Amino acid sequence: MKKKVGFVAALMLVGIVILSTRYYEVDLPVWHFLGGGKGLDPTSLHLRGEFVESNLGTAEGPGGSLTVRMIAQQYDFVPQCVVVPAGVPVHWRITSADAVHVLSFLGTNYGLRALPGVVTEATFTFPRPGEFKIPCHEVCGPGHYAMRGQLDVVPQAQFSSLSPGERRSCEPQ
């Protein structure tokens, strides 16, 4: 009897892992079939809407407010490196192109959950300049442990002196 319970538990665990890491192949079609997911389509993020590539990274809005837009996908972040000024509230809008990912900003208490079909929002202020690794903190598939991005927090004056391209992302250009 005990063995049976263990076997069923193991089966359920495998099922949960499959559902959570293959979300876009299993849950999503079911979700669409049931009439859900009227918002973002994770499979066409790069084609239209807010998360097209030219709109990703750090952008200045009206009144000088800053917004970072980012996509988490198996197994990287787009953009891979983001730069923001220190001591300024920065708005984040992130989504996932496939599975559930979690961005954890190492050395801080900040974290963000990226979900397919949903925009996750948060406002963070990084008080001091520094480089923060952003490892993915949710098992999202076989490449999970290599999935990491970077955040460069720079002094405000340095941020102001960057070109628009350099502000958008600190990926090598």
Among residues 101 and 167, whose Cβ is nearest to ligand CUA? 101
Among residues 66 and 140, whose Cβ is nearest to ligand CUA? 140
Is 126 within 8 Å of 84 (Cβ atoms)? Answer: yes
Report the nearest approach of ligand CUA to the CB of residue 146 (Å): 9
Return the CA Rg of the chain.
18
Where does this chain bind ligand CUA (CB under 6 A)? 101, 136, 138-140, 144, 147
Query: Residue 141 to residues 21, 22, 28, 81: CA-CA distances in angstroms?
Result: 6, 8, 17, 22
Among residues 40 and 134, whose Cβ is nearest to ligand CUA? 134
Q: Tokens for 108, please give them.
A: 């801080």
Among residues 66 and 78, whose Cβ is nearest to ligand CUA? 78
Report the nearest approach of ligand CUA to the CB of residue 134 (Å): 10
Report the nearest approach of ligand CUA to the CB of residue 19 (Å): 15
Is 93 within 8 Å of 69 (Cβ atoms)? Answer: yes
Report the nearest approach of ligand CUA to the CB of residue 124 (Å): 19
Among residues 20 and 108, whose Cβ is nearest to ligand CUA? 20
Shortest CA distance to 53 belongs to which of 85, 33, 32, 79? Answer: 79
Is 82 within 8 Å of 152 (Cβ atoms)? Answer: yes
Distance CA 137, CA 128 (A): 23
Q: Tokens for 161, please give them.
A: 């002196």
Report the nearest approach of ligand CUA to the CB of residue 78 (Å): 12
